[in-house]
Chains A and B, each alone.
Chain A
């Protein structure tokens, strides 16, 4: 059981308030992703949960027990750092054993746990090497291994994939998802990459400027973004935003439509856009256009024979529109 509850958590550095009254309930066994642009406070929030930093006000509870003033070591959490933070002067085995030795665990049990984690992560051949002799992907596994051997109540992962190359990132992402499945442990994952968030998360927390913008499952966020920020942040390419008077029959002041939801009109066109750039990817065509001087992006399936300067006719289904009021909040 590991349920983490944050109540009115704030954190200020001097006069700068980086987290504003965060309320969040993280359920047992869930993989929750904190996502947001850099500087939004997501790493600070993770450090508060880890106990490496103390909130200015508010309460953090693990399984109903108030741990706000409890030291990091005694919260039973394990963290994977962005830089991995492996001890460079110790072998992989010593890196894994360090936390267990500090907990005064008997030697045979340490050995057994290391063997188990090494097998699970395929790092057995490198156990006697130093971190400096490992590749990025291998270091990443060791960092995860160091968290696993501790058998923590929850895993905290701070942008664990950001130092890997694109290909490795995709495969490691899948491995992390599998690992979560297998350990069925609570995981808190911080990233600025919304695709990582969408693919991994049970629930996503979108943060901006120290405030939670929306909490929900990936598809909730995609289908029903609560405000303009979430609508623009989740989904790639970015959602098109247009004043509502450009699209007939819509409410609110701003209307959003995802580029994928626009399609070439056979009959009656709802929009006419002037093409400025065509990106042909083979399986789809990304069209950059202008709708009365407002930029518009459309992702059309298959290959199209447009050229810059053409005017194209587009249409959409009304249920794919997202309407927002003057404050940028969603209107249904």
Chain B
């Protein structure tokens, strides 16, 4: 433990502070705040009520103003700490506010109205989590259904991606045929074509195939990824050809060579591609939004969009469901970080 703290706290300046020490600490702390701050804000805000979200200045933690029921008033009244003219501080309930004067009552003695300058009172607040933000979309609305759709799309798309991309990569790395590098170049070149360019023709294709308003219409156009083919091919090039020769001598068919020799040996690269594919498909928004127009088919990302109406945005639900949507991706990154870094290091892609 002492070694750990010694390692973390050691400075270039020894006992003193070298300017690089100060710079490093500043850089790291600022970076931490910039990267982690929004995530903390998102999670905390997802527990705020709509009123607390609209509050200015914003707070980090979700606060609610304490309220109490006072005899003679129908609605619960908000509580304030009031500094009285004699200097004592008392908790009073606000009945109404007129200009800069608030009319307040003592909950113990509801008969008497006390007039207080609003400068002299502060709301009595406590931290409270609005779990309803989570419960309502998940229980009352269709978010569980959206979750199922998202899981289905992600799992199927990832499985098909792994299968097709590895087959393409196998052919492009282990077979010698005329035009092999041209095909490879063509595949990699498609990286330069953004989705928005092919959106309309792709829509026509999907529509003509009758896949409009079907989860397969979301899955199928995404399964052939140039990144995946490129990454797997580069990995397969490192598998010695002698293994394939040996398998041929062992009477293995081409399918067996692929399935029993190449695929198991490509496992590390497949793991990386699987992680990428899960993250990509989980976060997909534009294409599912176009293909899916029936509510029961929505994926999570499209479902989130339903809370942003033209006139009214339900921020509390959006924030809460954004947290839910993020959880799987965060878990993937936390537990499979090692594979992701090797993948990025191995291909120079992300």
Contact = CB atoms under 8 A, between A and B. Distances in A.
Interface of A: 47, 50-52, 71-74, 77-79, 81-83, 85-89, 98-99, 102-103, 146, 150
A52 B248 contact: yes
Given A79-B245, A81-B242, A102-B256, A88 B265 contact: yes
B245 A85 contact: yes
Contacts of B247: 87, 98
13 contacts: A51-B248, A52-B245, A52-B248, A72-B248, A81-B242, A85-B242, A85-B246, A86-B246, A88-B265, A98-B247, A99-B252, A102-B250, A150-B250
B261 interface: yes
Contacts of A98: 247, 250, 252, 260
A81 B245 contact: yes
B249 A87 contact: no
B264 interface: yes
A73 B248 contact: yes
Contacts of A50: 245, 249
A99 B242 contact: no
Given A79-B246, A99-B251, 16 more contacts: A47-B245, A50-B245, A50-B249, A73-B250, A79-B249, A81-B242, A81-B245, A83-B240, A83-B242, A85-B240, A85-B243, A85-B245, A88-B265, A98-B247, A98-B260, A102-B251
A193 B286 CA distance: 65
Contacts of B264: 89
A70 B249 CA distance: 12
Interface in B231-249: 240, 242-243, 245-249
A99 B250 contact: yes
A287 B50 CA distance: 100
Contacts of A51: 248
B251 A73 contact: yes
A142 to B, nearest CB: 12
Nearest to B260: A98
A307 B25 CA distance: 73
B249 A103 contact: no
B246 A81 contact: yes
Nearest to A89: B264
Interface centre among A50, A51, A71, A79 (most CB of B within 10 A): A79
A82 B241 CA distance: 12
Interface string B245-275: 1111111110010001100110000000000
B112 to A, nearest CB: 85
A87 B245 contact: no
A77 B240 CA distance: 21
A6 B220 CA distance: 52
Contacts of A73: 248-252
B249 A77 contact: yes
A261 B331 CA distance: 78
B18 to A, nearest CB: 47
A99 B265 contact: no
Contacts of A85: 240, 242-243, 245-246
Contacts of A72: 245, 248-249
- Closest 8 A-B residue pairs measured CB to CB? A99-B250, A85-B246, A85-B242, A73-B251, A102-B251, A89-B264, A72-B248, A81-B242
A40 to B, nearest CB: 20
Contacts of A71: 248
From B243, B245, B247, B253, residue with most partner A Cβ within 10 Å: B245
B256 A89 contact: no
> B248, B249, B265: which has the most chain A beta carbons within 10 Å?
B249
